[in-house]
Every structure is written in structure tokens, then in C-alpha cells.
Structure 1
């Protein structure tokens, strides 16, 4: 999951370091955009074999996701509920792991290099804030351990959001 050259601990040790750095970055700060910007930059630093990481923010009134802070190439700005991987995660409020985006019906291809994807809903007190979207240029990049670690990351992040 993590850049081996930067973080030489076990996968679990690296995840603990990531959570610790997230808590340090966000301590005392509750501004949504600032926290999401730092969270996306932190994940971009820690994760290996990815080509895009960022957030889409839920707009209740229009039932769509709108592009938020991210690291990577320019991306789609608006995604309707239920559309693509991000819209599916927003609609179901569940993590969606896609080993091969070419096999996902309705996949939205913002970057042709993306081959696999994981999207985790960001929830606060039962309310959808948005989704964390991570793309990889490799098929089958994200496994069950990645899912657990990233879901925990999102839970910790949400605890800092207002």
C-alpha cells in the first residue's frame, strides 16, 4: 500500500504512521476544504501505485457529487448519484472496490491510465459528506487490507470534520 522506499516498516506500522500524521495535520482544524486538501496530499505521499487521489463532496440539493481537493490530473467536476464508481458509493453509502474499471458498467473515465479504483464514503453522524476516490494505473491494485486501512483513515478524517 505504501511507498516502500519512504516507509520501511510493516504494512500495519505504515498505516499507524499514516493515521498519526493525519491526526497531527488536522488537530484543532475543522475547515472542510483545508482538511480534505491535507488528507489527499498525505495519501498521495503515502500510497504507492496510484495516479489520482481526492474527494468529491455530496450536494444534497442536487443529489450529486462535486469535485473537491485532489492530487492528480484534472477530473470530472460533477457526478450524479448512482453514476460510475463514485456515484455508486455515494448512493449505497458503501465502499466500492473495482479491480478492473473496464468491467464496471458506467465507469467514468477521467484518466485513461486508470485501471482499478476504490471509493470510500465519508460519513459524519450518519450523513454523507462525500467520497474518497483513489485510482491506480494497475489492475487489482486494491485488496481487502487496503479497504480496511482506508476506511479507518476516512473514519479518522471524518472525526475532524464539522
Structure 2
């Protein structure tokens, strides 16, 4: 496995492309959604540097409920519009938060978290599946390149797993 460095745009994009290929290979032949969520969480958590949480919050029709993840125990339920995850789900827009303490209504599941990126997971029919949430103990850990990389990973994940549900 590789580590995403804070290097040039091209190398960071190439490294996310490599991670995308690993993701496809990891979940391509597995039909169980939860197993794929668990393995995807582990792959990202153990591949990218400076993370302290990586996982899913799945939409149950009313709120987000914690799904498979890597890291310390997490908040179990998050209302739409609440915190970074609830905001990403409600707005259906990726949230890149350089300083979680400056985000209105931030939910502090792990006090060590300083920055966060959350990508909404949207089915091809427009239905909300949930969100992909990644935290870091490093301020300003995530940028626009990470957003593009995470969005590509999530798009592939949804495409590969939703076709099997």
C-alpha cells in the first residue's frame, strides 16, 4: 500500500487513482454491502496518513446511523443538518472542514479530531444512502484535491455496491 503525500497535484491525484484501483479490486467480487463498507473503511484508514477516523454513516430514512468504520467509538445517530455529516447529507455536498472547532454545530465524537472531510453518498436515482466521513488530528489536513479524490472513491464505491443490493 502507499501513503498519500503532501506532494504535487499530479502525484497526489495519481495516488488517489491507485487507491481507486485498489478499491475496485477489493469490492468488485463481494456482494455484501456491509462487508464492502468495512473493507473500504479499513483500506482508506490504513492507506492515507494522518487519519484518526474513517467510516460510514448510513441513512435509515430519518437520520444517519453509524456504519462500519475504523477509529475510536463514534456517535451513533446524527440528524440531517446537524454537524459536518448531517450538513453534507442535507445539502448533498462534500464538506471540507479545515478546523472542526470553527464549524457551527460540530459534533465532537473524538476530541483529537481537528479537520474533517465528508462526502454524501447518493444513489443513481438521487436517494441518499449516507455519508463517507474521514477525520484527522491535523488541522487543514484535507484540501480540494482530497475532495476530488474522495468523491471519486465514493462514486466508484456506490456504483459497485448499489448494483448488488
- Per the TM superposition, whether the score is higher than 0.5 is yes
Question: Contact 1:2–1:11 (CA<8 Å) still a contact in 2?
Answer: no
Q: Would you say 1:143 and 2:143 are equivalent positions?
A: yes
Counterpart in the other structure of 1:66:
65
Tell me, in whole angstroms, the C-alpha distance in 2 between the residues paired with 1:106 and 1:12: 32
1:1-150 matches, within 5 Å, as: 2-3=3-4, 10-60=11-61, 63-125=62-124, 126-150=126-150
Shift of 1:3: 4.7
Question: Contact 2:41–2:68 (CA<8 Å) still a contact in 1?
Answer: yes
DSSP-derived class of the 1:67 partner: strand
Tell me, in whole angstroms, the C-alpha distance in 2 between the residues paired with 1:83 and 1:10: 35
Report which stretch shifted further, 145-154 or 9-18: 9-18
**TM-score normalised per structure 1:** 0.92
Question: Contact 1:30–1:160 (CA<8 Å) still a contact in 2?
Answer: no
Shift of 1:115: 0.4
Question: Contact 2:4–2:16 (CA<8 Å) still a contact in 1?
Answer: no
Tell me, in whole angstroms, the C-alpha distance in 2 between the residues paired with 1:12 and 1:88: 26
Question: Contact 1:3–1:48 (CA<8 Å) still a contact in 2?
Answer: yes
Question: Contact 2:4–2:15 (CA<8 Å) still a contact in 1?
Answer: no
**TM-score normalised per structure 2:** 0.90
Superposed CA offset, 1:4-62 (max 9, x none): 5xxxx9223321211111111111223211111111011012111111000000011xx
Shift of 1:93: 0.7
Shift of 1:69: 0.4
Structure 2: 5+ residue stretches without partners: none
Please report the RMSD computed on the Cα atoms of aligned residues, expressed in angstroms: 1.5
Report which stretch shifted further, 128-137 or 27-36: 27-36
Question: Contact 2:23–2:40 (CA<8 Å) still a contact in 1?
Answer: yes
Stretches of 4+ moved more than 4 A in 1? none
Superposed CA offset, 1:43-99 (max 9, x none): 012111111000000011xx2000000000000000011110000011111101111
